[in-house]
Amino acid sequence: MSGIGAYAEIDEDAYIEGALILSIGGAQQSHVDVQHPERIFYEYLQRIAHVIDVLRAPGAPLRVLHLGAGALTLVRYIQATRPGSVQVAVDTEADLIDFVLDAMPLPHGTACEVVIADAADAVLEQPDAAFDAVVLDIFAGADAPSHLTSPDLAAHLLRICAEDGIVLVNVGDDPPLSFARAQSRQMTSLAVETAVLTEAAMVSGRSAGNVIVAARRQSWPAAWTAALLAAGPHPAAVLVGPAREAFEQAPRA
């Protein structure tokens, strides 16, 4: 892979029949249950999928932009649960995408355009309110490229999202989660309302893991909070209002 300088491989999951794992440089990056794409293995991606589940009536097609393609796990999930959805997946690595699609073709009928480009460049080219859901899943941590973590890009993510849609940003971070807190604060300053979804143990800032920042141009429905807490993965935290504000504050020494 020219841009990442790492070796990619796809292996069978030893525990889940029919599932495949994409690894880059020896580190697992994506998991696909080929026979059952509606099943998602990684917990952070389950949380993203559950937000997409509540965004519209069950089965209703969506317009979705994926920034960071991986093995196109979420693309497959949306096609399985919302047939007829129109999706765009953006990634910088043409060789990686070709490798993935050769080994794991998208299900028949999937309407997904794959764009090889920098995520920020691709976002700037999109018209206002072009997507019902925008998913940014690129960050490996606080060392992510600054142009992908900037308030300018965050504002454009909201611009290209439908007024009643959702922007979902996956943020991986280590204790005390300073980067995740900052990304949530930044999105909160731009959106009408923001929620934070994560594992309950992550809220204290003493564990490493993934935080999902969900931003809207409208208010966050209270029914969503209840539904997402029930959906898990458990134990789940869905932080809105004062709870989210408390999370966003810098940890005390």
Does the pLDDT of residue 198 top 90, yes or no? Answer: yes
Closest C-alpha to 4, from 67, 71, 70, 92: 92
Q: For the residues of 107-137, what is the DSSP string, one character each?
A: PTT-EEEEEES-HHHHHHTSPTT-EEEEEE-
Q: Domain total for the chain?
A: 1
Residue 62 lies in a domain: yes
pLDDT average, residue stretch 212-229 = 98
Domain range for 242 is 38-248
Provide the CATH number for the domain around residue 123.
Answer: 3.40.50.150
> Which residue's entry shows tokens 């491989």?
9
Residue 101 lies in a domain: yes
> Which residue's entry shows tokens 């960071």?
68
Helices within 160-192 (DSSP H only): 178-190
Residue 19 lies in a domain: no
As to burial, measured by CB atoms within 10 angstroms (0-12 exposed, 13-18 middle, 19+ buried), residue 56 is: middle
pLDDT digits (tens, 9 = 90+) for 77-101: 999 999 999 999 999 999 999 999 9
Residue 204 lies in a domain: yes
**Helix/strand/coil for 138:** coil
**Helix/strand/coil for 76:** helix
**One-letter identity of residue 224:** W
Does the pLDDT of residue 253 top 70, yes or no? Answer: no
8 vs 20, higher pLDDT: 20
Does the pLDDT of residue 76 top 60, yes or no? Answer: yes
Residue 216 lies in a domain: yes
Q: What integer pLDDT is reported at residue 211 of this predicted model? A: 98
Residue 85 lies in a domain: yes
Q: What integer pLDDT is reported at residue 4 of this predicted model? A: 53
Residue 108 lies in a domain: yes
Does the pLDDT of residue 47 top 60, yes or no? Answer: yes
184 in Cβ contact with 149 (< 8 Å) = no
Residue 11 lies in a domain: no
